[in-house]
Chain A
């Protein structure tokens, strides 16, 4: 069966510091991968998606970036965090288009 991992589970970082969040998927090949952010009390905002290694599409301009160095690994990064980057970051995977997505447990980021 497929599983998706995210780490860390929680993170507190000062403004201006870098960020690296990692997501890995097991049990499937060539998944579509997604990064979402959910601000407190708000809906999910799609940040990036990837249909293959090295292929990244960005949904919104921001100070975040994403990379997919391996088939089942998706990384979200920032060089300098802003206060507005605080939120619940969720990684998801799917197979085929269109298809239901399955979410990882998320990383709760607080920028102070």
Chain B
């Protein structure tokens, strides 16, 4: 089993749609969780941290389920500019593990 697993997609959605990504992790001792966004041929950029209580940043909502060992990212009212690959990241001290990413394409 991979340490961090994501559905690779691609997810093709129309503008304005709501889309959700899930990510599962194997290390129950993981302490910190993040979502990154990576545009084609660019470096990953931090999108948001994921807190135990769940957190929201504008159209983006991240949730953590420690019991089931998964995190999720919900994007509401998708924009064309949301098209990118979304990376799930799980961290334990200095051990940061990246998922392979989920590709999202938002179409007009």
Contacts and interface: CB of A to CB of B under 8 A. Distances in A.
Interface of A: 32, 34, 42-44, 46, 49, 51, 88, 90, 97-106, 108
B82 to A, nearest CB: 19
Interface in B34-88: 34, 41-46, 49, 87
B86 to A, nearest CB: 12
Interface of B: 31-32, 34, 41-46, 49, 87, 91-94, 96, 98-101
A49 B96 CA distance: 10
Query: Interface majority SS on B: helix, strand, loop or mixed?
Result: strand
Given A98-B91, A100-B46, A100-B49, A44 B98 contact: yes
Contact of A102 (B46, B49, B92): B46
B92 to A, nearest CB: 7
A99 B43 CA distance: 18
Contact of B34 (A42, A43, A97, A100): A100
Contacts of B99: 43
Given A44-B44, A44-B87, A106-B43, A101 B101 contact: no
Given A44-B44, A44-B98, A101-B46, 10 more contacts: A32-B94, A43-B98, A46-B96, A88-B41, A90-B43, A98-B93, A100-B32, A103-B43, A106-B42, A108-B41
Contact of B92 (A43, A88, A98, A103): A98
Contacts of A44: 44, 87, 98
Contacts of A105: 42-43
Nearest to B100: A43
Contacts of A97: 93-94
